[in-house]
Every structure is written in C-alpha cells, then in structure tokens.
Structure 1
Amino acid sequence: MTTLTPARLFIDGELRDAAGGKTFDVISPWTDAPINTAADASAEDVEAAIVAARRAFDCTDWSHDSNRQKRLEICTKYLDLFKANFDRLAEIAINEGGCARGSVNREQVAMALAGWQDYLDVFPRVEWERDYGTREAWGMKNVRKSYHEPIGVVGAITPWNAPLYVNVGKVVAALLAGCTVILKPAPDTPSMGAIFGELANEAGIPKGVMNVVFGADPALAGEMLVTDKRVDLISFTGSTAVGKRIMQQGAESLKRVFLELGGKSARIVLEDDPLFERDVAMGMLTNHAGQGCAVQSRLLVHRSRYEEAKAILKATYENFGDNWGEQENPAHTMGPVVNRKQYERVLGLIEVGKSEATLLAGGKARPDKGPGYLIEPTCFVDVTNDMRIAQEEIFGPVVVVIPFDDDEDAIRIANDSAYGLSGGVCTGDVERGLKIARRIHAGTFSINNGMCIAGDLPFGGVKASGVGREWGVEGIEEYLEPKLVAIGSFG
C-alpha cells in the first residue's frame, strides 16, 4: 500500500502542524479508506498566513520592478524541484486524487509542469509599462504612461479534479507578477498543495511570499480569505454555486475576483465531417471519469446522421468494455470519481437520465472493480436540451447526445446553457466551422479537435463559467493593476 507524506501547513517560511496539532484523514477514491493525514488548519493558522503574506508584500522588495528577473529565476528553480519530484507527484495524483496511472502523463502531472514552463516562456511578453503619448490640454503638455504593478496578496482557492494543474495556474502566475500567495487546496487533495510549501524554501522563495493552508472544513479558510480586507485578490476554481458566494462575499471589500467555474460544453459534429465516425466516438467521456470543467459533455449530431452516430457510440462503448478502472495500468486514464458525495450525486443524475432519455451504455456503479467510487462510462441518447442531464453539470463519465437540424439549430442548442466555458465543432469546411465558433458564447473553442487549452493560451469562460482568464500572458496580467501617471509641463 502506498504511504503518502502527511500534509503540513506552510506559513511564513515554515512547515508546521495546525494549531493544537489537529489533523484529518484524507480518503482515497480508490478504496473509500484513509490514504493520508493532513493538518487541519484553524482560524488562527489562516490568520497567521494572511499576516505573513501581507507583511511580505508590504515590507519586502519581492514585488519591486528590480526583482522581476529574480522572480523568474526562483520560479524556474521551483519548477526544477517539482520535476525532480515527478514520481512523488504521480503517487499523490493517483492515491489522493483518484487518477489512473495513464493520466499522470496528461493533465494530472505532465501537462501541469508543461504549463509551468509555458508561464516562464511567456513571462518576457508581460507588459509592465504602456506609453499613452503626449496630449495638450488647458495650455499644458501631458506625458502619459501606465505602470503595471502587482495587485498584492492573493488567495488561491483550488479544486480536487486537477489539483496540480490548477495550483500551478494560480500560484506561478501570481508569484511571477510579484504578488504574495496563500494557497488553499481542497480537503480531498491537500498534499498537492502542501508540496508547494515543502519545496518553497529550497527554491529560494522569501518568507511569507508563499503560504499553504487547508483543513477538513472546505469553507473555513476560503471564507476567511474572501472576507478579509488584507487579501487583495481571490482566484477561485470550482463550482458555480461557490463562485457566486465568493463574488458576493468579496464585494464587501471590493476585492478583485477571478472565477473559473463549471461548464456544460457542446461538441458539434456536422454531417459533412469526413472523420465522422472518429469524431463521434471521441465524444465518449472517460478521462479522469469526466471530472473536467471544460469537457464536452453534450454531443450534438446532425439529425440526418443521428442514428448512425448512435450505432457508432454503441460499438465504441462495447469495444471499450472494462478497459478502465485499474489504478496502476498505464493504459488506463479513467478511475473513480473523487469522493462519496460526488459518487452519489453522479449516480443520482444517472437515475434522472434514465427517466428522461434512453440509456445507450453504462449507467451503473461498479463495486466489482473495487471498493472505491467507480462508475461506468455512461451515454444517454434521444436527449433534448431541456432535460436536466443536458443542463446540469454532472462532472462524471456521462455524455448526452442531442440531435440538431441545421447550423442555426446547433448554435441555438449550444448556447442554450447557463455555462460558456468551451466547446468544439467537427466539419469538412473550416470556414463553416469558424462561422459557428464565432457565434458560440464560450471562452475557448476548437475546430476539428484543435487544442484550444494550453499553458501559453488564455483560458476562462463567460456566463456562469466565470470571470477572467488563467494561463498565458493574460493569466499573469490578471495579477497586475495598471497605474496611470501623467506628467504635466507648460511651454
């Protein structure tokens, strides 16, 4: 049995236990049993982290312009340390996060570290100053320039579905910008946050610049960060319901809020797609049990080929069979959902789907595969977009297949959602695909499976999918505030 290092808090440059030594058990999604212990942060611990981060920003030179290169060098060394701990990161992702071994070299570890490198690569393109030129007004000549400065103390609140990837997305961008950080990972995956503290001193990060707190209560630390005036920005990835609460609570102190929330993205397969069979089959959701905010969980197929698509999907699921759910199988990318609450929720929505539509494949829990939270890859057909399974984000291995009549109908269905995170269209006519892409209300979109999510590209959504952008140059600039300076002179 794998033994993980107990997760400890990191506050003001020190690894520490929670006040009073309180801990909580971390449950493995594979076994429904404890896999690790973690420090259970109290309000006292969170307060200490806020004090440390505030002092490090206000009273040290971390955020100064002269330290930009130093910050880049530190974040580069930090990445090297994470790369040296690749195997450990893999064990954490598998045992704490429930990913199958095959996902390690995808978004769970390898892509997260590749995204970190992307941040380092795009850092020279960050705009720190902008010249607005000279303007005459009231007999005075005005030279105008803006200076883009780090916003201050950042509270980074992250989820359990791809914890390393999201932690990197927030922490590295904020550090490069010159902010100080309090990382608050989900209680399901504290170790993927704790390691940021464990490696911080060796990377050369000054005291108070990087802090990590977590606890059994999913809300305590987060709500303290959101409501505290000493925290200047909240960057949150998670559910839309929690995102709305964060925006409401953050309004009291008028802090900047970045939200990357849910999705119910549409994958549109047009009748002219020359790779129709492949592109329909790719609509199957298996990777990490469908636990991704940007997964395309609504598969829209032209009505003229809808019956053909159903036959393709039926064969695809049958061929896939039981080739999933083995923890150490490097060919498997699908494991359990993350916890019992999510397990019961997904199964509940599957039961809703059985009453609304036609179950084509899957639809059951699989205790025969192990004692954890394993649910079969599931597909519903004969779905209309007003059904609950078409509107609610299931966040499990469930895809719904919806017919459409023409391009206008496909666009209408895709946009008939509270969400607007991602999507895609597959077609033999790129110009036709681009016209559709431009009319879908989403933050990212792919044509013919183009990779629209990468570390050097801005990522985020519209509507109930969030506010702001992560990754790329824009992801670093989220943590900067422009200051306009005008120099006046007569004559």
Structure 2
Amino acid sequence: MPVNGKLLIDGQLLDAPRTYESLNPATGEVLGRAPDATPADAEAAITAARRAFDTTTWATDKDFRIRCLDQLYQALNDHKEELRELTIAEVGATRALTHSAQLDDPINIVRYNADLLRTHPFTVDLGEINSRGQRHHRWVEKEPVGVVAAILPYNYPNQLALAKLAPALAAGCTVVLKAAPDTPLITLALGRLIAEHTDIPAGVVNVLSSSEAAVGEVLTTHRDVDMVSFTGSTATGRHIMAAASETVKKVFLELGGKSAMILLDDADFAAASMLAAYMICTHAGQGCALTSRLLVPREHHDAVVEQVAQHFGRVRHGDPSDPKTYMGPLISERQRDKVDGMVQRAVAAGAKLVTGGERVNPGFFYTPTLLAGVDPDSEIAQEEVFGPVLAVIPFEDDDDAVRIANNSVYGLSGGVQSRDQERAIAVARRIRSGTFSINGGNYFAPDAPFGGYRQSGIGRESGVAGLEEFLESKTFATVVA
C-alpha cells in the first residue's frame, strides 16, 4: 500500500490541497504524508453519510451488511502483511504486538460482528396486556442510531477503528471515521480497502485525516451527526461531551485510566512482579487499561521493587520491526517530554527513582521507569502518564488496598494477585472499574464488553453491548382485534 494516504469521502479516494507529515517514532524520520482535511471536508463527509443513511437501504438490508462485513474481513486478511508493516512503522508497535492487539485480534472484531449480525434479535416481543378495556400487543424493535462520528487516538488505531466501525456498520449506521493526527496513514489504508475491496456503498464509510482541531469540532457539533464515539484522553472527552450536548447527541466515551494491580500478602510475588513489569512496558505504556499503579503490602515493598527492577533490566527495547524487541518507542517527542516531565516532578515530590527515566535516541524511546514509595495522592499516582512508568504504592491490608485502588477519578481496569482465588475475586468485586484481571486473567476479546466507570468513560465497546451502543430501541403497540 502507498505510504501517502487519501481521504475517503462519498466513495471517492481524494487528495487534499494541504498535507502533513507522519513520522516513524522509532527513527523520528518522515514516513509519509497525509491529507490535511479541512472543516469543509468534514462537512462533505457528514453530508455523504447522512444521504447514505437516509436514502439507501443500508440501514434496513441486514443480509447486505453481512456480505459487506464478510468482504471487509477478507480484505483485511488479504492485505494483513502490508497493514502489519505500516502499523509497525507508523505506530511504533512491535512486530509481536501486531500478531495480537495491534492488528490480528482487531481483524477478528469484524468477523465477530458479522456473525453476531446473523443471530442478534432485532425484535423482542413483549406479549399482550389489557388496557382501557382492550387487548394490546407490544414489541420492541432495534434501529440504527444514524450517522456516527468515530474519533480515534494514536495508540491502537486498528483495534479502535474496527471496534467502532464494525459494530456501527453491523447496526446499520453510516460512519465518518477520523484518524488520529499522529497515526493517519494506517487508518487511511483502512479507507482504501473499504473503497477498493468491498461493496459498501458510497457515503456509508468516510475516512478523514487532519491536523486541525476544527475538524473534530465539526464532527462533534454538526446537527446531522447522531452519535459521537470517541476514544482518547479524559480532558478531550469532557470537551466532546459538552460539545455534543448542544444537539443532545448520543456519546460513547472510552477515556483515561490509572489502573491498579494489587498484590495481596499471599501472592506469588516473583510471578506477579514479572507480570507487572512487562505489562507496563507493553507498547511503551501507551495503553489506557495498563496497570500503572502497583499496590504492594508494606512489608514486601522493597523486595517487590527489587524484583520489578530486575525484570525492567531484561526488557528489550529498540527497533519495533525486530521480532525480538519487546518495547518500542513513544509516539512523539511531545509525548516523551510529557512522560519525562511527570517522572521528574514525581521525584521532586518524594518518589524514589529506582531505574529508568532516560531518553534514548534516535526516535522517541524512554527507558522502563520504576518509582518506589509513591504517595497515593501524588500526581504520578493520580494522573495518566501513557508511558512505561510504574508507580509502586505500599498498603497495610486488603481494605487499605481497595481504598487506594479506588482513590482515583478513573475506573477503567485493574488486577489482583493472590493464591486464594475466592479472596482475589472478593477484592476484585470491590474495585470500581469496568474490567478486571484476576491472577492474570485476560478479559480482552471481541466478545467481551470493554469500558470504564466514572471519568474513564460512558458505554461499552465490543461484545453484544458494543453492538447495542449503535442501536436505538423503538417500542410499538397495536390493538388486538
């Protein structure tokens, strides 16, 4: 696939008068150029999506939607290796990670939603009731929301694009998909596949890339957009929620996290230390659900810190295209500056820098960083870092661990480690979060709802719940003769 992308608007692959650079974060060099869409382009995409929803049979022809999703699944598999190389180069994802959450697993989201569409009950019979001296038959039908603006972050662009696009299309919606400014090319490549290898009608899917914040403003405020699906920072999510309120749009928000992994006093500390170390280094810590706080019994704090530090020393970071590399770069120099600034402030506030905290050039690498003795109320324990930084926090007992874990505006994920499964489950149930891992259990799959409590978002992505986000319920009643 070409590195220089094109917009997809109303079925046409288009250039734009202006372009902007997309960098390879492992080298800092220019990878390609993306079209810099304008607010007028966003208006055109919304108009196309509105027309496709209102005047075609897309919303009502379930069999046709199944066929198109099957075609998209096939196209993604046929071009998987091209997408893999582009994901590695633009996202900085390691080759190993593209064989799971960065590419291969997301493709299966399309398969899941095509199969779900074959069986999902879009009509629910409520039976009959007596009312006002007559019999009334009632039922509920599920209808697509309408035009969806789907706005992506940079960290897992394939996962997040397909987690929004596949269920939206399955539901019968039309979509304007906006790529993240830092990773436009991989999302534009998805648009090209849709245009060239599927029968999805013109206007049903539109794909934009832009460096202009004004484009996002159009998508979140336009009267012809019925729903906004956004994944990104909580600060931006608040702004989108406020903007969408002017026209009372439905919103799905998957926002930040500051998840805690709790090691109970009967945990296997050696295994848990390794899991905590390698998890925070996954994709250089650029994951909203990663456990960036490690809660440890006070009497075991120093020993666990030593074990985690040893594992950090074994994390191989470097060229993400090398199959032996575990951790790639941060997405940009701007993000690396943010991460380093938070680490430096944490040390100034009293946290102990055990290892890491170093920039590695060329590219935007940052060494795995371990902070010990962290105050649970400090910035580093409260704010999302989005880098390979693990904050170790001591606790006194199970109640104290639960209190610290819940001491957050977020509620996205978390984990607990204990040799006593029932004790671990009991603790897990007390944590206010949308997902939770018990002794390393993996909850992330196309059929499992994903989302958060509190300021980690609204709604759920994936699973039956993910499809339902894009549906409205209409209740009918008729008098029985």
TM-score where L is the length of structure 1: 0.95
Counterparts of residues 253-402 of structure 1 (less than 5 Å): 253-273=247-267, 275-284=268-277, 285-320=280-315, 323-355=316-348, 356-367=350-361, 371-402=362-393
Q: How much does 1:151 deviate?
A: 0.7
Cα distance, 1:317 vs. partner? Answer: 2.1
Out of 224, 227, 252, the position equivalent to 1:230 is 224
Specify the alignment match of 1:242 in structure 2: 236
Counterpart of 1:47 in structure 2 is 43
| 1:7-46 superposed matches below 5 A | 7-18=5-16, 21-46=17-42
**CA distance in 1: counterparts of 2:114 and 2:414, whole angstroms:** 28
* Paired amino acid for 1:373: F
Q: For 2:68, which of 43, 66, 74 is the aligned residue?
A: 74
Q: Distance in 2 between the 1:238 and 1:37 partners? A: 23
Secondary structure of 2:150's match?
A: strand
Equivalent residue runs for 1:389-468 within 5 Å: 389-468=380-459
Give the secondary structure class of the aligned counterpart of 1:411. Answer: helix
How much has 1:106 moved relative to structure 2?
2.3
Q: What's the CA shift string for 1:256-300, capped at 9, x where partnerless? A: 000000000000111112x32111221112111000000000011
- Whether the 8 Å contact between 1:147 and 1:482 is mirrored in structure 2 is yes
Q: Which runs of 5+ in 2 are unaligned?
A: none
- Contact 1:7–1:191 (CA under 8 A) maintained in structure 2: yes
Match of 1:99 in 2: 93
CA distance in 1, matches of 2:205, 2:15: 16
Equivalent residue letter for 2:35: A
One-letter code aligned to 2:283: H
Q: Give the aligned partner of residue 6 of structure 1.
A: 4
Provide Cα deviations, 1:65-89, integer angstroms capped at 9, x if missing partner. Answer: xx21221121111011111111111
TM superposition shift of 1:168 = 0.4
Q: SS of 2:447's equivalent?
A: coil
> What RMSD, in angstroms, separates the aligned Cα atoms of the two structures?
1.3
- The code of the aligned residue for 2:216 comes to G
Alignment CA distance shift 1:269-1:124 (3 Å): farther
Preserved CA contact (<8 Å) 1:214 1:221: no
What whole-Å deviation, never above 9, does each CA across 1:306-342 have from its counterpart, x for those lacking one? 222122112222333xx21123210213111101211
Q: Deviations over 1:22-72 (max 9, x none)?
A: 1111122122221101111112211111110000000000001xx212211
Confirm whether residue 116 of structure 1 aligns to residue 110 of structure 2: yes
Q: Secondary structure at the match of 1:413?
A: helix
Contact 1:4-1:35 at 8 Å conserved across structures: no
Q: Distance in 2 between matches of 1:288 and 1:4?
A: 25
Contact 1:99 1:333 in 2 (8 A): no
Cα separation, 1, equivalents of 2:159 and 2:347? 34
Unmatched segments (≥5 aa) in structure 1: none
Taking the aligned partners of 1:307 and 1:5, their CA distance within structure 2 comes to 48
Q: Contact between 1:93 and 1:104, CA under 8 Å: does it hold in 2?
A: yes
Q: 1:204 aligns with which of 199, 202, 212?
A: 199
Which amino acid in structure 2 is aligned with residue 286 of structure 1?
A: C
In the TM superposition, residue 144 of structure 1 has moved relative to its aligned partner by: 1.0
Contact map agreement 2:274 2:308 (CA 8 A) in 1 = yes
Aligned to 1:88: 82
CA distance in 2, matches of 1:199, 1:313: 43
The letter of the residue matching 1:9 is L
Q: SS at the partner of 1:80? A: helix
SS in 2 for 1:107: coil
Letter in 2 for 1:459: F
2:24 and 2:75 map into 1 onto residues whose CA distance is: 26
Give the letter for the 2:466 counterpart: G
Q: Percent identity?
A: 42
Checking the alignment, whether the CA contact within 8 Å between 1:226 and 1:250 is kept in structure 2 is yes
Which aligned segments of 4 or more residues in structure 1 are displaced greater than 6 angstroms?
A: none
Secondary structure in 2 aligned to 1:316? helix
Asked if the contact 1:123/1:473 (under 8 Å) is kept, the reply is: no
Structure 1 counterpart of 2:282, which letter? N
Contact 2:69 2:111 in 1 (8 A): no
Separation in 2 of the partners of 1:166 and 1:31? 25
- SS of 2:302's partner is helix
Counterpart secondary structure, 1:216? coil
CA–CA distance in 2 between the matches of 1:407 and 1:127?
Answer: 43
Q: For the Cα contact (< 8 Å) 1:100–1:325, is it kept in 2?
A: no
- Partners of 1:122 and 1:308 in 2: how far apart? 48
SS at match of 1:250: helix
| SS class of match (2:365) | coil
SS at match of 2:343: helix
- With the length of structure 2 as denominator, give the TM-score of the two structures: 0.97
Could you tell me how far apart the structure 1 residues matched to 2:118 and 2:465 are? 12
State the alpha-carbon separation in 1 of the partners of residues 314 and 56 from structure 2: 60
Post-superposition CA distance 1:204-257 (Å, at most 9, x none): 10111010111122x222110110010000000000000000000000000100
